[in-house]
């Protein structure tokens, strides 16, 4: 047993946390805006009770099929290298996370976001808004078509450039599984000087990098990158352990 | 002292295959995949995370609805104008619209339980419309005080930070709440307690400083 809170005899699953040395810290000195924003006190442990083991059902009704193709917006084709981005959303126990909302946003091929705060003098693309939404299927799979985002400068340090990346936001089925992250591309020469990438502990950085996939690359059309996303899984309950022996 | 490279001690333990259990070849530990690391939402989150209906945890006009508003401050006590707050909570009867609730998914008219609001307009302020939650079991034989779970996201935060919102007009329930009671002192508790306003409640979050909000590790 785990000393788990339970609701009148109900066993509540506790969601496992990644070891501290593999988790991105909230603050990181080289990323300057964390200085006044990342909390300084040690967070208080919150065991998972009913509010934590549940989570919103944000159904497919807010996602339209065309939201999975970022290359066709406002009646025309976006400029840039077409890429298929696909993968599976799993939990750390290897179980697929089905029917989960995946939201993505990104810069255009020139490295410019369609946002008032972005003043980088690269052209905006009238046919690219940089927003995508998909639901995972029953096996936890997602995929969307987009263009490869450009690198872009930011003011963090002299000549600072963000490696090409796509922002991802995911809901699992329970509050602890909520994840906002960024997907990178293989072998980016900008990794070395990027504090947002390097804030990820070295042993976990590869998990943020997609894999070029020749097999899914579409002939005469688009390159393909695979990125599997792992949300937090539940601890194995004593019930499940016994079951393993009985069934079969 | 010299080592004879050909002196190999006899094996005293039987060979253990990777299962750690002799001869089965099956994993005896649950499979563990490495979790995907979090990253900041950055300054352009509005592109991907703006919903027309984000602020409506309860549908507009739902009887008994309240506005919960507040601000987010950084360590220099400046308003944070580019944060996003998300909330998750029970309905007024203490049920969750989630199949993960072992008591069964609840359904309360017009209620989604989830809100997403940016601190954009006016700068640094968020506001969302919801129903005050009921009390839910704490798993230790008692009831938790009415509360919302909160995730805060912003540029300059490499992971979300998690807090709760409680209500000042629930003093009796708050005094019994297992989470509030676990906090070190009253000043810490006060950082999570929203005060009544004309149309609902108000609570400010402080990312740093003397009044730093109590954040939770979930
Ligand atoms: Fe970005």
d(CA B148, CA B189): 14
pLDDT for position B14: 60
> A82, A221 in Cβ contact below 8 A?
yes
How far, in Å, is the centroid of ligand 1 from the Cα of B44? 7
Residues of chain A with pLDDT under 50: 1-3, 7, 240-248
pLDDT for position A243: 42
Q: What ipTM does the predicted assembly reach?
A: 0.92
Among the listed residues A48, A133, A162, A232, the single catalytic one is: A162
The tokens of A15 are what? 């969601």
B6 pLDDT tier (thresholds 50, 70, 90): confident
A165 assigned to active site: yes
Sign of CA dihedral B113, B158, B182, A232: positive
d(CA B12, CA A3): 38
d(CA A158, CA B61): 51
A67 preceded by cis ω (within 30°)? no
d(CA A157, CA A153): 10
The alpha carbon of residue A184 and the mean position of all alpha carbons in its chain are separated, in whole angstroms, by 10
- Our CA-based measurement puts residue B7 at a distance from the nearest CA of chain A, in whole angstroms, of 37
B5 pLDDT tier (thresholds 50, 70, 90): confident
d(CA B205, CA A150): 35
pLDDT digits (tens, 9 = 90+) for B148-169: 999 999 999 999 999 999 999 9
* Mutation choice for A interface testing from B27, B36, B155, B211 by most A CBs within 10 A: B36
A232 assigned to active site: no
> B213, B163 in Cβ contact below 8 A?
yes
d(CA A68, CA A89): 16
* Chain length of chain A: 248
Q: Which residue has the higher pLDDT, A12 or B7?
A: A12
| E strand intervals along A68-187 | 72-73, 76-77, 82-91, 101-105, 131-135, 141-147, 152-154, 160-162, 165-170, 179-184
* Chain length of chain B: 218
Taking contacts as CB-CB distances below 8 angstroms, the residues of chain B near A51 are 88-90, 96, 136, 144, 147, 149
- Our CA-based measurement puts residue A77 at a distance from the nearest CA of chain B, in whole angstroms, of 19
Compute the average pLDDT of residues B178-183: 97
pLDDT for position B17: 53
d(CA A178, CA B36): 11
pLDDT for position B30: 73
The CATH number corresponding to B65-206 among 2.60.130.10, 1.10.150.120, 3.40.50.300, 3.30.160.40 equals: 2.60.130.10
pLDDT for position B33: 94
**Closest of A34, A31, A44 to residue B208, by C-alpha:** A34
Q: Which of A15, A180, A201 sits opposite B153 (nearest CB)?
A: A180
Q: Do B36 and A52 touch (CB under 8 A)?
A: no
Q: Which of B31, B40, B214 sits opposite A196 (nearest CB)?
A: B40
User: Which H helix or E strand runs over A231?
Assistant: strand A229-231
**Closest of A196, A164, A23 to residue A85, by C-alpha:** A164
Buried b (16+ CB within 10 A) or exposed e, B101-131: bbeeebebeebbbbbbbbbeeeebbbbbbbb
pLDDT for position B10: 76
d(CA B130, CA B91): 9
The tokens of B28 are what? 């005896």
User: Which H helix or E strand runs over A7?
Assistant: strand A6-7
d(CA B150, CA B207): 13
User: Which H helix or E strand runs over A244?
Assistant: helix A238-246
Among the listed residues A82, A165, A232, A234, the single catalytic one is: A165
Find the angle CA(B127)-CA(B130)-CA(B133) to the nearest 5 degrees: 125
Location of structure tokens 């999570």 = B192
Location of structure tokens 């340090």 = A157
DSSP notation for B163-206: EEEEEGGGHHHHHH-HHHHTSSSHHHHHTTEEEE-SSEEE--EE
d(CA A149, CA B118): 25
B8 pLDDT tier (thresholds 50, 70, 90): confident
Q: Do A44 and B216 touch (CB under 8 A)?
A: yes
pLDDT for position B3: 75
B206 pLDDT tier (thresholds 50, 70, 90): very high
Beta bridge partners of B118: B84
- Our CA-based measurement puts residue B22 at a distance from the nearest CA of chain A, in whole angstroms, of 16
> B128, B87 in Cβ contact below 8 A?
yes
B25 pLDDT tier (thresholds 50, 70, 90): low
Q: How far apart are the first and last CA of chain B?
A: 54
């Amino acid at each position: 047993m785990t000393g788990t809170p339970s609701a009148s005899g109900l066993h509540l699953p506790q969601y496992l946390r990644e070891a501290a040395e593999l988790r991105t810290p909230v603050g990181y000195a080289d990323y300057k805006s964390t200085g006044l924003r990342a909390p300084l006190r040690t967070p208080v442990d919150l065991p998972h009770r009913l509010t934590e083991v549940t989570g919103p059902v944000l159904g497919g009704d807010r996602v339209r099929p065309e939201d999975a193709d970022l290359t066709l917006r406002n009646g025309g084709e976006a400029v840039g290298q077409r890429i298929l981005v696909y993968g599976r959303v799993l939990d750390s126990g290897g179980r697929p996370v089905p029917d989960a909302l995946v939201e993505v946003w990104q810069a255009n091929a020139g490295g410019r976001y369609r946002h008032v705060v972005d003043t980088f003098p690269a052209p905006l693309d009238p046919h690219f808004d940089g927003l995508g939404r998909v639901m995972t299927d029953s096996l936890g799979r997602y995929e969307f078509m987009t263009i490869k985002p450009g690198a872009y400068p930011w003011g963090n340090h002299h000549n600072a450039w963000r490696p090409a990346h796509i922002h991802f936001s995911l809901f699992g089925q329970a509050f602890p599984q909520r994840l906002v992250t960024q997907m990178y591309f293989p072998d980016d020469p900008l990794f070395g000087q990027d504090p947002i990438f390097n804030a990820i502990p070295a042993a976990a950085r590869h998990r943020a990098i997609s894999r070029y996939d020749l097999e899914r690359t579409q002939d005469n059309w688009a390159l393909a990158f695979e990125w599997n996303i792992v949300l937090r899984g539940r601890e194995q309950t004593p019930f499940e352990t016994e079951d393993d022996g009985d069934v079969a | 002292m010299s080592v004879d490279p050909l002196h190999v001690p006899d094996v005293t333990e039987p060979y253990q295959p990777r299962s750690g259990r002799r001869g089965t070849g099956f994993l005896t530990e649950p499979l563990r995949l490495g979790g995907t690391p979090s990253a900041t939402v950055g300054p352009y989150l509005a592109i991907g995370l703006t919903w027309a209906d984000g602020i409506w945890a309860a549908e507009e006009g739902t009887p008994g609805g309240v506005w919960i508003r507040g601000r987010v401050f950084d360590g220099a006590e400046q308003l944070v104008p580019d944060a996003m707050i998300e909330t998750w909570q029970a309905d007024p009867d203490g049920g969750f619209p989630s199949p993960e609730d072992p008591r069964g998914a609840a359904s309360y008219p017009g209620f989604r339980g989830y809100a997403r609001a940016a601190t954009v307009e006016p700068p640094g302020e968020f506001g969302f419309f919801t129903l005050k939650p009921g009390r839910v079991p704490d798993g230790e034989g008692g009831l938790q005080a009415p509360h919302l779970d909160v995730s805060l996201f912003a540029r300059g935060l490499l992971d979300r930070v998690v807090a709760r919102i409680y209500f000042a007009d629930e003093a009796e329930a708050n005094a019994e709440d297992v989470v509030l009671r676990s906090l070190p002192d009253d000043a810490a508790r006060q950082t999570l307690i929203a005060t009544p306003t004309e149309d609902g409640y108000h609570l400010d979050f402080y990312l740093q400083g003397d009044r730093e909000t109590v954040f939770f590790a979930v």
